[in-house]
Amino acid sequence: MNSKSLQIFALVIGISIFSSAALAHHGSAAYDTDKRVTIKGTVTDWLWSNPHCILQLDVTDAGNQVTHWYAETENPSTITHLGLSRTSFKPGDEVTVTMITVKNGKPLGRIAEVVLPDGRKVKGIIPGARGGESEDSSKQ
């Protein structure tokens, strides 16, 4: 194998390795994309960062048990076009979030829709979270 062929082979292998990692990162295999869960809770933090923004909130059930949820969105530039900003959520804000959750039952999901503290609804935050039925889980 000559030097040029070896360089092309190395390039192809390198691209294959890095592209598969990128696809795996954006996969939805861990999520139940056929079902939506709606939770109501109190914002504890709003992380505005790449590659995904994260909304953290506490949800209190009927027995006063608190569950800390992590709700992921897209990157800042994508969700800015939907009407969200660095200041959309503040600790203490009451919000309602509809999301697809992870299959293993942990309090983690991708946001499909959020009702902001001022009552506005923002939809379509995660493209893979468009289908399925909503299940009210505010009593978790």
Residues 6 and 56 both lie in one domain: no
Domain of 89, CATH number, reads: 2.40.50.140
pLDDT exceeds cutoff 50 at 56? yes
Question: Which helix (H) or strand (E) is 137 found in, with range?
Answer: none
Q: What average pLDDT score do residues 4-29 get? A: 53
Structure tokens at 1: 């194998």
What does the pLDDT read at residue 38? 95
Q: How far is CA 108 from the centre of its chain?
A: 8
Instruction: Please say whether the beta carbons of 128 and 29 come within 8 A.
Output: no
Residues 14 and 50 both lie in one domain: no
Percent of the chain with pLDDT over 90: 49
Model pTM greater than 0.75? no
If one counts the domains in the chain, the total is: 2
Per the model's pLDDT, the better-predicted residue between 60 and 23 turns out to be 60
Residues 82 and 17 both lie in one domain: no
Query: Radius of gyration of the chain from Cα atoms?
Result: 19
Residues 77 and 24 both lie in one domain: no
Rounded distance between C-alpha atoms, residue 126 and residue 106, angstroms = 19
Q: Which range marks the domain in which residue 23 is found?
A: 1-28
Q: How far is CA 116 from the centre of its chain?
A: 16
Look at 36-40, 73-77, 127-131 and tell me which has the smallest mean pLDDT: 127-131
Give the residue among 124, 21, 132 at the shortest CA–CA distance from 73. Answer: 124
pLDDT exceeds cutoff 60 at 80? yes
Between β-strands 108-115 and 121-123, what pairing exists: parallel, antiparallel or unpaired? antiparallel
Q: What average pLDDT score do residues 84-113 get? A: 94
